[in-house]
Structure 1
């Protein structure tokens, strides 16, 4: 994590070989009002800690489950260790693998078109959801035998 708590990045290696296969991270940490930030929320109260997640996996390791595992790790860690209750992810129009990953994680229903947090002139795909939404999808994946952790 950065010294001032603005972002954090992780290096992802394969267990056993220590081969570097990607990166994951948190692009921001900030306090938001879930009723204003989210289209729908399971949270009570007017303030919640939000983070923005992102990953990069080497293309030769795509479709092996590492993306879903890394997204799950990022969300679980942010929620359980950092106190985050609201999550955002953004990607450009051409990133179909990310959109497919969000679908696999059960988050497609939270997908929408919004101005990019990093460039208001750009419209991108955005997923906004809270800890309650994630809990529901985690339980679904566990019941279906698809939970990666």
Structure 2
């Protein structure tokens, strides 16, 4: 009888992270309707990069089922970002909220670990991460809180060694978010139409020691939301 290979510690049936205002957890099939409302809205991905944002609700249901399998195998860990009910705020539109309601709050975005990759020579565990917050909930530092939670969870719970992030070079809001976090840009890879044109990519990379310094600065500047 052939034994099943031992799964890595970041291979889990589901992930869950809780912050003061948010719940970040693995997607469930019942999230499909609300998730599709957010993820398919073109105003939430004006610079591209949201893979699968053309899927219908039925297609998202099927994809969520596939994601559960890849999460359990430790290939990745996609998360839905849920705003806790007591954090909605008076400025939120009631009809919007009804469409975004799930059992534990309101779906306002997605985040998580796009991949896990172990470098055999050094046993370094790399993970590429990202976050998307619905435009209706911008200017509340929710993207900052989301990324802080994902990074902390990755380093302290999953054992990630190095994080990478990529975005369209023209995505000024995301690049500003990285600057506020204290993550220095590693490089800009030029696309076929020259620097600054669509297709150019801004890349970021940092390890635990660098993150500790960033975290201290965030705390000192009252920008730590966990």
Question: Same-fold call, TM > 0.5?
Answer: yes
Interval of TM-score (by shorter of Structure 1 and Structure 2): 0.7 to 0.9
* Residues 79 and 85 in structure 1, CA contact (< 8 A), matched pair in contact too: yes
Equivalent-residue separation in structure 2 for 1:32 and 1:115 (angstroms)? 26
The CA deviation at 1:110 is 3.4
The CA deviation at 1:30 is 0.8
Q: Which has the higher contact order (CA 8 A, sep 6+)?
A: 1
Match 1:126 to one of 172, 197, 203: 203
The CA deviation at 1:81 is 0.9
Match status 1:64 vs 2:134 = no
The CA deviation at 1:85 is 1.4
Matched residues, number: 132
Match status 1:20 vs 2:95 = no
- Asked which structure has the greater CA Rg, the reply is 2
* Residues 110 and 129 in structure 1, CA contact (< 8 A), matched pair in contact too: no
Number of the residue aligned with 1:140? 217
Number of the residue aligned with 1:30? 117
Alignment of 1:110-121 (within 5 A): 110-114=185-189
* Residues 81 and 110 in structure 2, CA contact (< 8 A), matched pair in contact too: yes
Number of the residue aligned with 1:96? 172
Runs of 4 or more above 3 Å deviation: none
What value does the CA root-mean-square deviation take over the aligned residues? 2.1
* 1:34-65 deviation digits (Å, cap 9, x = unpaired): xxxxxxxxxxx933111000111001111210
Number of the residue aligned with 1:53? 129
Structure 2 unmatched runs, 5+: 1-13, 15-70, 87-104, 192-198
Number of the residue aligned with 1:39? none
Equivalent-residue separation in structure 1 for 2:190 and 2:114 (angstroms)? 16
Equivalent-residue separation in structure 1 for 2:134 and 2:161 (angstroms)? 29
Bigger strand fraction: 1
